Structure 1
Amino acid sequence: MGLFSQKKHFVLSGRTILITGASQGMGRGLAKICAQKGANVIIVARNIDKLKAAVEYISAAAANPQTQRFHYISADVTSAEENTRLLSEATTWNGGNPPDIVWANAGSAYPHLFIETSIETLRSQMDIDYWAAAYLAHATLQVWTKPTSNQANGTTSKASKGTEPLPRHFVMTSSVVVFAGLAGYGPYGPAKAAMRNLSDTLRSELALYNGARLHATDPLRIPKIRNHIVFPGGIQSPGLDAENKIKHPVTTKLEEDDKPQTEDEVATAAIAGLERGEYLITTAFLGSLMKAGMLGGSPRNGLGVVDTIMTGLSALIWSFVGPDMERKVWKWGKENGIGNT
C-alpha cells in the first residue's frame, strides 16, 4: 500500500480539514501545506489573536485563493463539550457537512522529573496530551459513523457515476517519546503512549464500520474511515523554547544528538506519510528506527518489509543505546547530584 500511488491515499484538494493546536508550530505548518495542496482549512486553538494571525499566514499559501476557504475556532480542547461544539461549528461553516479530515494535533510538553512534578500538572498533561485527542476522536467518529442522508432516500453513498467516495481521515499527533522512556518525560510520555494505544484500538474498531459498509442486505452508508498517528521528535517552535526553560539538564543531555525539525519540515514529512498511505508515521530517520523497535501489535506500513528490516536493526542498536543512555543518567547523577532546572 502506497508503493506506487502515493498521493491517492490522502487527497486534500477541494476537501475540508480541521486541525487543532494550529495557531503555531507543527499545526500551523500542517495547515499551510494543506492550503498549498488546495484544502479548505479550519484551525483551532485558544488564543484568538494568534488564530487570526495564523489564518492570514495560512491563507496566503492557498493554491486557489478564489475558491479556498479558511476559518478559525477558539476552543479549549481539554473539554469534551468544547470538542463537540467546535465540530458542530465546523460542520455549519462547511455547508452542513462535517470536515473530511480531522487532525488532533493540540498538545504541550512539561519535561520534568516525575516525582518533582505536582499531581495537578500530571493531570493537566494527560488532559491536553491524551484527553483532548480522545474527546475529538469520540465526537468526530460519532458523526462520521452515522448513516448519510442518502440512506433515507434509498440511494447509495457513492457518487453519481458509481465511484467510491474518498475516505475520511482522523489523524493524531503523538511523539517519539512513546518509543523510549526518557528521564524527564514522565509527565508527558505516558499521555502520548495512551494516545498510541487509542489509535490502535480505533483502527481495530473502525474495521467494523468499514466492513458494515459492504453488508449484503443492510449496508452502512458512510464513506470509508481511516485513522493514522504521527510521531514527531523535537520541533523548533515557541513550545520547544518554553520546554527548554524547565527541562532538567539530564534530559537535555539525552537529547543532544536529536536535532529539532522546523515546523515546515515536520509537517511536510507527516503529510508525505499520509499520502503514502501509512498508519504509523514518523518524521525523521531516528524516529523511524525508534518506532521499529516498539511496533508490537500495531499494523506495519505498506507491505511491512522496511519495518521488518528496521525492527531487527533497531533491536541490535537498542541493545547498546539503551544501557548507554542509562549510564549517562547515572553518571550525571553521580557528578551533579539530583540537580534542578
Structure 2
Amino acid sequence: MFGETGYNPTAFNQPTYMALGIYWATACLCIVVAVLALNIMGFFSGTNKFDVDGRTVIITGGSQGMGRGLAKILSQKGANIVIVARTQSKLDDALKYITAAAKNPGKQRFLSISADVTIAEENIRIIDEVTTWNHGSPPDVVWANAGQAHPGLFVDTPLEISRSQMDMNYWAAAYLSHATLRSWLRPSPEKLSKPRHLIMTSSVACYVGLAGYTPYAPAKAAMRSLADTLRSELNMYNGARRNKSAAADSSPAAEVKVHVVVPGTIKSPGLVNEDKVKHEVTKILEEGDIAQTEDEVAAAAIRRLETGGYMITTQLLGDAMRAGGLGGSPRNNWLIDTIFGWIIHFAWLFIGPDMERKVWAYGKEKGAVYRPESS
C-alpha cells in the first residue's frame, strides 16, 4: 500500500474493483440461470409451433419409458397416435394407457405396430402401413425415439454389442428418417398449412465423453450430426415450396422441420437394466445427475417443441451442456445461448479436470487390468 515512492491510491481500489467484478459476474450468472429455468418451464412461449390436435403422430419405442410418456401427452393434446415397438403384449398395454388419456374420446384414432426398427425394410413398412391407416395421407409427425443403452468400457465390450448399439441408437433413426422423408418430399399438388416434424431422441451423452459410455455415446453423437445435416438439406426443399416460377405440384406438400431431443437420465425399465452392467467409474461420474420420470421428460420435450426449438434439452443441466457444445448447430435463443455458452466454456476449465481426476483416482485406488477372457 505504501511503497518507497509514497502513497499509492490504486492500492485501495484494486480489492474494490475485484469485489465489484465478482459481484456483477455472480449477478449475471444468476440472471442467466433464472431466465433459462423460466424458459424451460415455458414462460416465454408464444404461438404454439407444434400443434398436434387432429394430426397423426408416429412414436417408435412407444411401449414404455419416454416413448409412452410422449404418446400419453400428445394424446391429451388431441393427436392420433401410432406407437411402434417389438413386443406386441407391451404395445397392447401401452395402447390402453394412451387411449385412456385422449382429449377427444371417440374421435381420435390409435394404432400399434410391432416392428424391428433396426431393419431398414421394417421402417418402410411402418410408413406405408400408417399412410394406409391414415386414409392415404402420410403421418404429420414422426418421432424416432427408440433407443437402448448398453454402457461398458470399450475394451471389455464385445464388438457385436458396439455394433448393435449403433444399429439401435443411430441406424434405426436413420432408416426411419430416410423412409419418412422419401414419403414427405415427393412432389404434391396438395399444400398443407402446417409443417411436418421429424424428431429424433438423442442423449446428453452426445455432448461429452464419459468413461463407460463408449458403446452408446458415439451413436447418439452421430444422430445429432444427422439431425444437423438433415436440417441443412431440408432448407432446399422448404425453399422450393416458395419458388413462384415452379409448377404448383412440383414441390412437397408441407414444409419439414427437423428437431433433436437431448434428454439426460430417465427413470425407466431401461435405466434399471443399464445400472446392472454399468461400470462403477461411470456411476461416480454420474453422481448428482437429475433423473426425470417418463412424464417429466416427455412434458419438457413437448413444451420446448411448442416454442419452436431445434435442439431440445429437458432440464437445466442439459441446457448447460447444449450451450457449451453447440458448435455449428442452430441456436434456440441466440442471446441466452451465447451468454450461457461463455459461462459454460469457463466452467469447463474446472469441470473437465475434475472429471478426469475422478477417473484417474478410481484407477489408482481400485486398479484397472484388462482381462480378455472376462469379456
- Opposite residue 104 of structure 2, the aligned amino acid is N
Ranges in structure 1 where 5+ consecutive residues have no aligned partner: 151-156, 159-164
Higher-Rg member (1/2)? 2
Q: How far, CA to CA, are the matches of 1:178 and 1:233 in structure 2?
A: 10
Are 2:246 and 1:206 aligned?
no
- Opposite residue 194 of structure 2, the aligned amino acid is L
What is the SS of the residue equivalent to 2:52?
A: coil
1:45 corresponds in structure 2 to 85
Find the partner of 2:347 among 288, 292, 317. Answer: 317
| Contact 1:31–1:41 (Cα < 8 Å) also in 2 | yes
| Contact 2:237–2:252 (Cα < 8 Å) also in 1 | no
Are 2:110 and 1:76 aligned?
no
Which structure 2 residues correspond to residues 56-205 of structure 1 after superposition, within 5 A? Answer: 56-150=96-190, 157=191, 165-205=193-233
Q: How far, CA to CA, are the matches of 2:118 and 2:209 in structure 1?
A: 24
Q: How far, CA to CA, are the matches of 2:201 and 2:349 in structure 1?
A: 28
Deviations 1:174-197 (A, max 9, x none): 000111100000000000000000
Q: How far, CA to CA, are the matches of 2:45 and 2:92 in structure 1?
A: 36
Q: How far, CA to CA, are the matches of 2:114 and 2:157 in structure 1?
A: 29
Q: How far, CA to CA, are the matches of 1:292 and 1:118 in structure 2?
A: 34
CA shift at 1:85, angstroms? 0.4
Q: How far, CA to CA, are the matches of 2:45 and 2:361 in structure 1?
A: 49
| Contact 2:204–2:263 (Cα < 8 Å) also in 1 | yes
- Opposite residue 224 of structure 2, the aligned amino acid is R
Find the partner of 2:255 among 211, 224, 230. Answer: 224
2:32 corresponds in structure 1 to none
- Opposite residue 78 of structure 1, the aligned amino acid is T
CA shift at 1:8, angstroms? 2.1
What is the SS of the residue equivalent to 1:102?
A: strand
CA shift at 1:3, angstroms? 8.8
1:294 corresponds in structure 2 to 325
CA shift at 1:259, angstroms? 2.2
Identity within the alignment, %? 59
| Contact 1:228–1:278 (Cα < 8 Å) also in 2 | yes
Find the partner of 1:333 among 345, 363, 366. Answer: 363
- Opposite residue 263 of structure 1, the aligned amino acid is E
What is the SS of the residue equivalent to 1:116?
A: coil
CA shift at 1:217, angstroms? 1.4
Q: How far, CA to CA, are the matches of 1:309 and 1:196 in structure 2?
A: 22
What is the SS of the residue equivalent to 2:48?
A: helix
What is the SS of the residue equivalent to 1:115?
A: coil
- Opposite residue 274 of structure 2, the aligned amino acid is E
Ranges in structure 2 where 5+ consecutive residues have no aligned partner: 1-41
| Contact 1:3–1:276 (Cα < 8 Å) also in 2 | no
What is the SS of the residue equivalent to 1:114?
A: coil
The number of equivalent residue pairs is 327
Deviations 1:302-333 (A, max 9, x none): 4x111111101111111100100010000011
Deviations 1:49-79 (A, max 9, x none): 0000000001111111120111000000000
Q: How far, CA to CA, are the matches of 2:242 and 2:282 in structure 1?
A: 50
TM-score by length of 1: 0.93
- Opposite residue 234 of structure 1, the aligned amino acid is T
| Contact 1:6–1:277 (Cα < 8 Å) also in 2 | no
